[in-house]
């Protein structure tokens, strides 16, 4: 009788004993926020692949997607050649790349001790890419009889400070009826971040300079100044 109970107990232990863990792979990616400077710069993307101990081989294709969903870079990783953690770069160019939310995705395969190939995917990560800031300033020099020489300066953000923006599109605006309208007949030509233009005031008026947004830098507006006839 005791022997039968022992056999039954052994069978029950076999039934409730936990099964060996299945082979699996996890991981993550990350990238810091970036700025669209005028030139092309490499932005690092870090990855961490985390296989369980019974995974015999894994591979992973990582794609970096622009805000419109187009592929802008990435890397292919394999346990035969690559460490499970590391960094690769994606190139961002001020005149080409898009500002907004960028996404890093990953998909791959792995094999366990059972020699069965499984597919897997990383949870997507995101990072922000913004346009460079700009600074626009406006000053005046009276020339007499309501005439003024206006000096305009436009600078855009760089890694080491702000520097003159060449070929910026700048409009001179006046305040009229509670709104700002473009000053007719005034054409601004910016060279190395500087421009000079002559205007005349027939009445007291407030004016300002507005730099238009481009692909890699934001718009900015100067403080208004007052012109008198």
Is the pLDDT at 188 greater than 70? The verdict is yes
The two tokens of residue 149 are 């020489």
Q: What is the pTM of this model?
A: 0.80
Q: Indicate the average pLDDT of the chain.
A: 88
Confidence of residue 5 (pLDDT cuts 50, 70, 90): very low
pLDDT, average across residues 127-155: 96
pLDDT band for position 24 (cuts 50, 70, 90): confident
Domains 23-130 and 134-227 share a fold: yes
Burial tier of 111 (Cβ tally within 10 Å: 0-12, 13-18, 19+): middle
| CATH number for the domain formed by residue range(s) 134-227 | 2.60.40
Q: Is pLDDT at 16 greater than 60 in this prediction?
A: no
- Name, in order, each residue with C-beta under 8 angstroms of 10's C-beta and a sequence gap of 6 or more: none
Q: At a CB cut-off of 8 Å and minimum separation 6, what does 171 contact?
A: 182, 183, 188, 209, 210, 212
Q: What is the pLDDT of residue 23?
A: 67
Q: Which residue has the tokens 């400077």?
A: 37
Question: For the segment 55-102, what is each residue's pLDDT rounded down to a tens digit?
Answer: 889 999 999 999 999 999 999 999 999 999 999 999 999 888 999 999
Residue with tokens 């970096």: 64
DSSP for the chain, written as a single string: -HHHHHHHHHHHHHHHSPPPPPP-EEEEEEE--EEE-SSEEEEEEEEEEEE-TTEEEEEEEEEEE-TTS-EEEEEEEETTTS-SEEEEEEEEETTTSPPEEEEEEEEEEEEETT--EEEEEPPPEEEEEEEBPEEEEEEEEEEETTEEEEEEEEEEEETTEEEEPTT--EEEEEEETTEEEE-TT-----BTTEEEEEEE-SS-EEEEEEEPP-SSB--EEPPPEEE--
104: left (phi over 0), alpha (psi -120 to 50) or beta: beta
User: Can you tell me which residue has the tokens 């971040």?
Assistant: 193
Question: Domain limits of the chain?
Answer: 23-130, 134-227
Architecture of domain 23-130 in this structure: Sandwich (2.60)
Rounded CA-CA distance 108/61 in Å is: 6
Q: What is the mean pLDDT of residues 158-185?
A: 93
């Amino acid at each position: 009788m005791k022997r039968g109970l022992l056999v039954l107990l052994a069978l029950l232990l076999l039934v409730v004993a936990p099964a060996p863990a299945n082979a699996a792979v996890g991981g993550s990616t990350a990238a810091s926020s970036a700025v669209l400077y005028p030139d092309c710069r490499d932005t690092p993307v870090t990855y961490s692949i985390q296989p369980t101990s019974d995974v015999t081989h894994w591979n992973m294709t990582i794609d970096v997607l622009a805000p419109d969903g187009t592929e802008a870079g990435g890397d292919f990783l394999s346990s035969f050649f690559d460490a499970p953690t590391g960094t690769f770069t994606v190139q961002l160019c001020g005149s080409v790349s898009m500002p907004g939310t960028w996404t890093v995705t990953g998909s791959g395969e792995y094999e366990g001790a059972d020699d069965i190939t499984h597919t897997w995917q990383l949870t997507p990560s995101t990072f922000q890419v913004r346009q460079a800031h700009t600074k626009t300033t406006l000053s005046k020099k009276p020339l007499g009889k309501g005439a003024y020489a206006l000096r305009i300066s436009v600078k855009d953000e760089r890694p080491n400070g702000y520097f003159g923006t060449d070929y910026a599109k700048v409009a001179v605006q006046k305040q009229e009826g509670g709104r700002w309208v473009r000053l007719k007949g005034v054409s601004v030509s910016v060279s190395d971040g500087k421009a000079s233009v002559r205007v005349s005031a027939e009445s007291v008026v407030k004016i300002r300079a507005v730099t238009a947004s481009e692909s890699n830098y934001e718009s900015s507006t100067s403080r208004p100044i007052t012109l008198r006839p």
